[in-house]
Amino acid sequence: MQDLLCDPDDLIVDSRHSWMNRADPRQRAWLEVSPAALQSNARNLIGRLVKGCSLMAVVKADGYGHGAVTVAKASIDGGATSLGVATLQEGIELRQAGLQTPILVLGNITDAEDLRACLHWHLMPTINDLTQLLLCESLAKDTGRKFDLQLKFDTGMTRLGYDVNKIPRLIETFNDLTEINLTGIYSHLAMANVDNGNGKANSVTEIQQKKFDFVLREFASRDKGICRHLANSAGTLRNDSLHYDMVRVGLALYGHNPLQSSPQHLDLKPALAVKAKVTMVKDVPSGVGVSYGHQFYTKRKSRLAVVGIGYADGISRALSGKISALFKGRFVPQVGSITMDQLVLDATQCPELRVGSVVTMLGEDGGKCITPQSWSDLTGSIPWEVLCGFKHRLPRLVV
Ligand SMILES: *Cc1c(COP(=O)(O)O)cnc(C)c1O
């Protein structure tokens, strides 16, 4: 995928896709990303943070499918002061795009060459064990440059993170290090987005927070300049006491609230729209089977509209017959199996739909909105996965 400016006379085209120079990116199906929405969300979120707390924009997985560089720049314009990525490669891409903001690599980097690349590109690795820490010390000695890095602790996520019970050994090791610049201490919440009537989710978050506070007390003597952070989007919106010095926000930055019940009014703007064109319209009699497997039969004389987007673009086949498209603020039901490259709408009630009409599969159109949550609820997925699911074949327009 690539970013393109939406002015039709002035499309910025990624050179890796020179074929695009000859074709309108809106020929068939595409993504539209709004930096204005991202910037406004960043601003809005910062306005909710406790005093002194800053915003890390989490732009991993190509900015949740929105384009990492676009998201990073818009978030920084909105006040974000650091960026979070999952992989070394994602970090390098941002540096190569000229971004100089502090970048934390959230994933685990264990290979010496990869850690050396972190040092070279000024990317902060996340340290999860002593071996990594010692490796960083020796790499820094080799190059004569202090290694900025962050420590992650496992407070209950049971994924990455240093064992909270082994902190004395870590501190002992730390005392011998001279080339390490510890810029942050963090942990990750497992249940912050889970609404749970019996309070179990809340108590898990509480226990994680207590463990995190314990870690911070252990490191209190070296607290100078160390950024403490714990909350993802859900933690940020759920409870101010989870904010500490910084919050790491992904989903909410993209305009989606991870909490089912929002405590306060939240004005988040969805930053992504998925659009596609009608490529054929046909009138059919009642009783006609539609698409592979004839999963749908027309129940009346119908007008069907074929749209050029399918599961190879990121609209899961599991959504077949369960979703709608939006056309000028009206919902048009999708019928029959979603195929690799195309899907069919029942446009009987929407006679204005014609070849070349643009429909919105996800996002806002005419005052209505189709959310990633509405899709993920139908398939047992989550909004995060929906957003990351749009594929390379969809050109990305920055609008
Ligand atoms: C992805 C990620 C986040 C952001 O999570 P959201 O729920 O999208 O806000 C924060 N911290 C870490 C460690 C992550 O991996």
> What crossing angle do the helices spanning 200-218 and 167-175 adopt, rounded to 10°?
30
Nearest ligand 1 atom, CA 234? 7
pLDDT at 24: 87
CB burial of residue 28 (10 Å; 0-12, 13-18, 19+): buried
Catalytic residues: 60, 292
Taking the centre of ligand 1 as the mean of its atom positions, its distance from the CA of residue 304, in whole angstroms, is 41
DSSP-based three-state secondary structure for 153: strand
Q: What string of DSSP letters covers 226-260?
A: PEEE---HHHHHH-GGG-TTEEEESGGGGT----S
Taking the centre of ligand 1 as the mean of its atom positions, its distance from the CA of residue 206, in whole angstroms, is 18
Nearest ligand 1 atom, CA 106? 13
Residue identifier of the C-alpha nearest atom 4 of ligand 1 = 250
335 lines ligand 1 (CB under 6 A): no
Taking the centre of ligand 1 as the mean of its atom positions, its distance from the CA of residue 42, in whole angstroms, is 15
Taking the centre of ligand 1 as the mean of its atom positions, its distance from the CA of residue 113, in whole angstroms, is 26
pLDDT at 265: 74
Spatial contact of 132 and 106, defined as CB atoms under 8 Å apart: no
User: For residue 30, which of 17, 41, 42, 43 has the smallest C-alpha distance?
Assistant: 17
User: For residue 81, which of 102, 97, 98 has the smallest C-alpha distance?
Assistant: 102
Nearest ligand 1 atom, CA 64? 8
Residue labelled with tokens 């989550």? 382
125 lines ligand 1 (CB under 6 A): no
Residue identifier of the C-alpha nearest atom 15 of ligand 1 = 106
Per-residue pLDDT of the chain (399 residues; tens, 9 = 90+): 445 544 444 444 444 455 555 678 999 999 999 999 999 999 999 999 999 999 999 999 999 999 999 999 999 999 999 999 999 999 999 999 999 999 999 999 999 999 999 999 999 999 999 999 999 999 999 999 999 999 999 999 999 999 999 999 999 999 999 999 999 999 999 999 987 656 677 899 999 999 999 999 999 887 678 999 999 999 999 999 999 999 999 999 999 999 977 656 788 999 999 999 999 999 999 999 999 999 999 999 999 999 999 999 999 999 999 999 999 999 999 999 999 999 999 999 999 999 999 999 999 999 999 999 999 999 999 999 999 999 889 999 999
Distance CA 255, CA 238 (A): 16
| Element housing 4 (H / E) | strand 3-5
DSSP classification of residue 91: H
